[in-house]
């Protein structure tokens, strides 16, 4: 709830404005920044683009993938 309140109060209620205010956009990926400096990881299944917190990705990897089916 605090995140939503902050986005509403400081960025007009939109995540794109929040991202732009911090320099992210078409030429600077927030996902890539999370992987390189924020502790996020990418799914290890070839062809899968899922990215997130390590526990989330490990849970995701345990599920069947369309890419390998």
Tell me the pLDDT of the chain (69 aa) as tens digits: 999 999 999 999 999 999 999 999 999 999 999 999 999 999 999 999 999 999 999 999 999 987 654
**Residue 43 has what pLDDT?**
97
Q: What is the pLDDT of residue 67?
A: 61
Cβ-Cβ contacts under 8 Å for 44 (sequence gap 6 or more): 61
Range of the domain at 12: 1-27
Q: Is residue 33 part of a domain?
A: no
- If asked whether residues 23 and 46 sit together in one domain, one would say no
23 and 45 share one domain:
no
Q: Could you tell me which residues come within 8 angstroms of residue 68 by beta carbon, excluding any fewer than 6 positions away? A: 45, 46, 47
Contact between residue 15 and residue 7 where contact means Cβ atoms under 8 Å apart:
yes
Give pTM, 2 decimals: 0.76
Q: Is residue 15 part of a domain?
A: yes
What integer pLDDT is reported at residue 48 of this predicted model?
A: 94
pLDDT of residue 66: 79
DSSP string, 17-36: HHHHHTT-BTTB-HHHHHHH
What residues are paired with 28 via a beta bridge? 25
């Amino acid at each position: 709830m605090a995140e939503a309140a902050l986005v509403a109060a400081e960025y007009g209620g939109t995540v794109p404005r929040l991202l732009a205010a911090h320099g992210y956009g078409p030429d600077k990926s927030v996902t890539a920044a999370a992987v390189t400096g924020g502790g996020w990881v990418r799914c290890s299944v070839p062809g899968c683009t899922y990215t997130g917190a390590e526990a989330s990705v490990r849970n995701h990897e345990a599920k069947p993938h369309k890419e390998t089916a």
